[in-house]
Amino acid sequence: MSDKIVPITEARRDLFKIAEDVQNPDTRYIVTINGRPEVLIMSFRDHDNLMRAIENMRLQKQANQVMGGASVLAEEPKQKYKVRKR
């Protein structure tokens, strides 16, 4: 992750350059006002990926609650279960 910290006056002056730069994967700008971080500039693609990841975690948490804590992630290989005869 490449975070670049810039004051707001510099961000205003270089906005088009910043907009191009954030198109590089994992590049973000933290904009400061009076020396304090106040604004984050990132690509829409990175923002969309972040929102999807958050939504997937929220859905996984709900699934865990419904299933009593047991869940299977989609990436896990399917396991074969043995059926016991009675």
Q: Could you give the CA distance from residue 72 to residue 17 in angstroms, rounded to a whole number? A: 44
Distance CA 26, CA 42 (A): 8
Spell out the domain ranges in the chain. 2-66
The listed CATH number (3.40.1620.10, 3.30.365.10, 1.10.540.10, 3.40.50.2300) that belongs to domain 2-66:
3.40.1620.10
Q: What is the 3 state secondary structure string of 1-24? A: CEEEEEEHHHHHHCHHHHHHHCCC
pLDDT for position 86: 57
Residue 3 one-letter amino acid: D
The low-confidence residues of the chain, meaning pLDDT below 70, are: 69-86
Task: Look at residue 33 in the predicted model and tell me its pLDDT.
Answer: 97
pTM, rounded to two decimals: 0.66
Residues in the chain: 86
Residue 26 near residue 1, CB atoms below 8 Å: yes
The pLDDT value recorded for residue 8 is 98
* CA angle at 48 for the pair 15 and 13, rounded to the nearest 5°: 5
